[in-house]
Each structure stands twice: as C-alpha cells, then as structure tokens.
C-alpha cells in the first residue's frame, strides 16, 4: 500500500529530515567510528570541482526525494572538505525547452536545469550555497539561463535558491498523476516513458498512485550585465514573491509583501539585475 503522504505542509524538507536522521544514527560511520568529526569543514577552504556521474550518484541517492538520478546528465560538481565529498549537484537538459515553451523569452538553446543536489549531514551549513554558486560559474558559457524546480510533495520551498538570489517564477500547471513503485517516486513523465500512459489506472496497475502538484520554478542568469537584465525582463511578469516557511503553523506561506514588491531581505528588481552572477 502506498503510504507516502503529501508533505507540502511540513515544517522541514525531505532532505533536511534525512540529514538529521543520518546524523542521529551515525549512518556513515565505519570501523573508525564517526570519521567526519575530524574533518576541517571550514567553508573558506572547501573546494568545488567537476566530478563524474558515479561519484555524484553515490551521494545523491542517499538524500534525493525521487530516489533516482535524472535520465540525462550533462555536468556534475562536488564540494570537498579535506578530500571528502560533502555535497553534489547535477545539471542536465530542461525538457520543456523541446516543446518551444521558452522560445518567446529567448531562452531556447541557452538553458540548463539544476536537476539534483544534496549535501551530507556533516558538511558546513553554507555548503549548498557555495556549491551552487561555484558550479554555476563553472558551467559552459553557452548556458546563461539556469533553472531549478522545487517539489511541494518533498516539503521543498527553494530556500537555498532564495539564498543564492534566484528569482521565483512558479509553474502554473495543473496537477498530474504520478506513482510510487518499489519505494521510489515515478513522475508522470517517467510513467509515459515506461508505460505509455500517465493516469491513475496505470499507477494502480504498476504501483501506488500519487498526485503531482505543480512545481515551483527558480531562475538565475549568467553572462554580461546586459544579458542578465535582458533575460530578467523577459520573465518579469512571471516573477512572484518568495514562498516562506511558517514554523508556528508548520505550513508554507507566501511572503507577506504583494506580488511585484520587494521581498524582505532581498534587493529590488532593478538592483537585483545588476548583482554579480552566482
């Protein structure tokens, strides 16, 4: 029976819960005990570099909500502390680009998706932001539109993308039918690829049906200031205030400022376009 619930109203995201569980259970301990306690996790000395898919996969699968790597991977990067991998990110194609969705914004041929990312429980608290910023700088120059999505079902709001100064442009799409099979989430896209259909009947036949809620989408831009401003203007009508977590009620909530206003603790639209790229 399918027991995975919609976690959208929870106070914590899935990855944070996993990190806390692994830390509490010393899940990464070996014959030498909690070996990571002797690692220098000074963020200033951490090194970000490109890594192979197998290395990224070995870390991502322990923390990833979907429990899988993307079907197509273009680039992987890791953050290292004293030679120990403390986090990984994975980049690949933005599949909706093939549908011509982004043609009118001038993004086609320039997009790349940050499709997976995770940090281990013992890494420095700022590891994710350093890893994302530095890996984006290292991407091939032709990718000047970087996007990422967040999944309400995993309790994700995109806090790390907010910290990295991405802009929030939520995807206003209808809910879809996904499924759980062998403990792994299978998206509607994956269902169509595997079974030819993505509906409740198919989910019941091969697993347990779940509802895919519309995902939140974030953008950041690279390149000269003029290019970044151009891209930002192209989606200015899509940009919304950040969604924040409300610990007192255990729910996600929209930022109190109105759409188009400046979210608290954030630069204005004009100033933001002139900030250095992540």
Q: In CATH, what number is assigned to the domain containing residue 127?
A: 3.40.630.30
Residue 180 lies in a domain: no
- Residue 5 domain flag: no
Across 37-47, average pLDDT = 91
Q: List the structure tokens of 169.
A: 């442009």
Q: Is 221:144 a contact under the CB 8 Å cutoff?
A: yes
Chain center to CA of 186? 17
Average pLDDT over residues 209-236: 88
At 7, the pLDDT band (50, 70, 90 cuts) reads: very low
Range of the domain at 253: 14-175+213-272
Q: Is residue 80 part of a domain?
A: yes
Position 185 in a domain: no
For residue 260, give the 3-state DSSP assignment.
coil
Is 32 part of a structural domain of the chain? yes
In a domain, 56, yes or no: yes
Q: Which residue has the higher pLDDT, 78 or 254?
A: 78
Determine what percent of the chain falls in helix, strand and coil, rounding each to the nearest 5: 30, 25, 45
| pLDDT band, residue 11 (cuts 50/70/90) | low
**Structural domain total, the chain:** 1
Sign of CA dihedral 62, 65, 70, 73: negative
Is 244 a residue whose pLDDT tops 90?
Answer: no
Q: Is residue 169 assigned to a domain? A: yes
Matching residue, tokens 């062998």: 182
6 assigned to some structural domain: no
With H, G, I as helix, E, B as strand and everything else as coil, classify residue 178: strand
Q: 42-51, 114-123, 167-176: which has the minimum mean pLDDT? A: 167-176
Task: Check the CA dihedral 94-163-273-276 and report its sign.
Answer: negative
Q: Is 8 helix (H, G, I), strand (E, B) or coil?
A: coil
From residue 264, give the alpha-carbon distance in Å to each of 34, 244, 261, 270: 39, 11, 9, 15
pTM higher than the cut 0.75: no
Average of per-residue pLDDT across 196-222 = 81
């Amino acid at each position: 029976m399918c027991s995975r619930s919609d976690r959208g109203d929870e106070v914590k995201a899935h990855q944070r819960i996993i990190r806390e569980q692994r830390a509490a259970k010393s899940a990464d301990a070996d014959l030498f005990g909690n070996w990571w306690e002797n690692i220098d996790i000074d963020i200033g000395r951490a090194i970000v570099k490109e890594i192979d898919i197998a290395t990224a996969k070995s870390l991502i699968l322990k923390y990833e909500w979907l429990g899988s790597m993307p079907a197509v991977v273009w680039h992987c990067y890791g953050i290292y502390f004293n030679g120990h991998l403390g986090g990984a990110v994975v980049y690949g194609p933005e599949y909706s680009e093939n549908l011509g969705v982004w043609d009118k914004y001038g993004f086609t041929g320039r997009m790349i998706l940050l499709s997976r990312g995770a940090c281990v429980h013992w890494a420095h608290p700022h590891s994710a932001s350093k890893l994302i910023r530095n890996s984006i700088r290292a991407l091939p120059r032709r990718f000047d539109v970087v996007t990422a999505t967040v999944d309400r079902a995993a309790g994700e709001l995109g806090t790390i993308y907010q910290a990295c100064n991405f802009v929030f442009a939520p995807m206003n799409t209808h809910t879809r039918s996904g499924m759980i099979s062998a403990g792994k989430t299978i998206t509607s896209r994956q269902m169509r690829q595997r079974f030819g259909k993505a509906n409740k009947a198919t989910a019941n036949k091969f697993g347990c049906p779940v509802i895919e809620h519309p995902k939140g989408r974030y953008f950041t831009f690279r390149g000269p200031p003029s290019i970044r401003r151009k891209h930002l203007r192209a989606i200015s009508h899509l940009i919304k205030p950040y969604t924040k977590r409300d610990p007192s009620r255990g729910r996600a909530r929209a930022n109190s400022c109105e759409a188009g206003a400046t979210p608290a603790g954030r630069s204005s639209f004009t100033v933001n376009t002139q900030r250095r790229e992540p």
